Amino acid sequence: MPKADNGGAAGPRVVVLGGTGYLGRRIGEAFTADGAQVHLVSRSPAENGAADPRSVRMDLLNAGPRELTEFFGSVRPDVVVNAAGRAWRADEAEMTAGNADLVARVTQSLADLPHRPRLIQLGTVHEYGAGTPGAGTSEEQEPAPVTPYGRTKLLGTRIVLRAAEEHGLDGVVLRLSNVIGAGAPVGSLFGMVAAHLADAARAQSLGEKPDELRLPPLRAHRDVLDAQDATDAVRAAATAPGDLGGQVINIGRGEAVPMDALIHRMVELSGVDLPVVESVADQPARTDAQWLQLDVSRALRLLGWQPRRSLDTSLRDLLTAAVPTPVNDRKRR
């Protein structure tokens, strides 16, 4: 982690924007365990206040540059992690506000500070658009996103890179693959399946027949990353020596997994007996890329990071948190 300048107090100062969200709370917990002084910034307080290192309530979507500058100036962070943004159940205008406009205000505020922290911006594989089947996408590929989420996250990435070039901001973008783990948002495929399995498990325990799991055709191949591995990548970026300003670094497993096989494995591990039906009826047409796989060699070279957790471990964590029955003790991949 960049050298702390905090008046002799123990531990570097870390600000996590979106600090009570799916990834933000994990990142905050990890830095706290590392001995950092953590500030979790979000509109909503943490669910468990006792476990909250230091919660700061701020409406980031509406906070202006002056408010942000004053906050950063008072905290004097060594690292700022931007885990805030909009992904699910939002239109493109709302995603632009959360994934690009906010990034512009954050980078402007940080560039105005006399003591500049390292900014770690969480990007996404969806910024690239379609990958080449059988191959991993490197950071050198020209992005061509095909979804509103990918387009708006790419805007945020370009804002960080421009701030690094024009203002010398030590800003690095971690392009994350699809992240899974306990507490996955219900708007995501894995979160939705986990919620359905939880309902099915409750029905089964009452002697009722659970509803079948209806999904659109699962033809896509995805690079899927464990949430803890993603958190470790953020920690590695915070502690990497030198200036990472202007770097984009892919963070994923480096392999594309067929989604139909992964969802069926998830159902198998849950121990819930229910059919999975893939149907185009009553399902919106998919517009996202069908092959998403990352080349993660730069992460190993610059950060010393590589994924360590298996897919089964990720699925078990997700299911254990969601399904009120023991997960089957299957052999791990």
Instruction: Return the active site residues.
Output: 149
Beta bridge partners of 294: 137
Cα–chain center distance at 303: 18
Assign 124 to helix, strand or coil. strand
Amino acid at site 152: T
Distance CA 209, CA 205 (A): 9
Q: With 0-12 CB in 10 A as exposed, 13-18 as middle and 19+ as buried, what is 24?
A: buried
Tallying the residues shown for the chain, one arrives at: 333
Q: Which helix (H) or strand (E) holds 195?
A: helix 189-205
Return all residues near 285 (Cβ < 8 A) that are at least 6 apart: none
DSSP letter assigned to residue 35: T
Element housing 258 (H / E): strand 257-258
Read off the tokens for 2: 């960049």
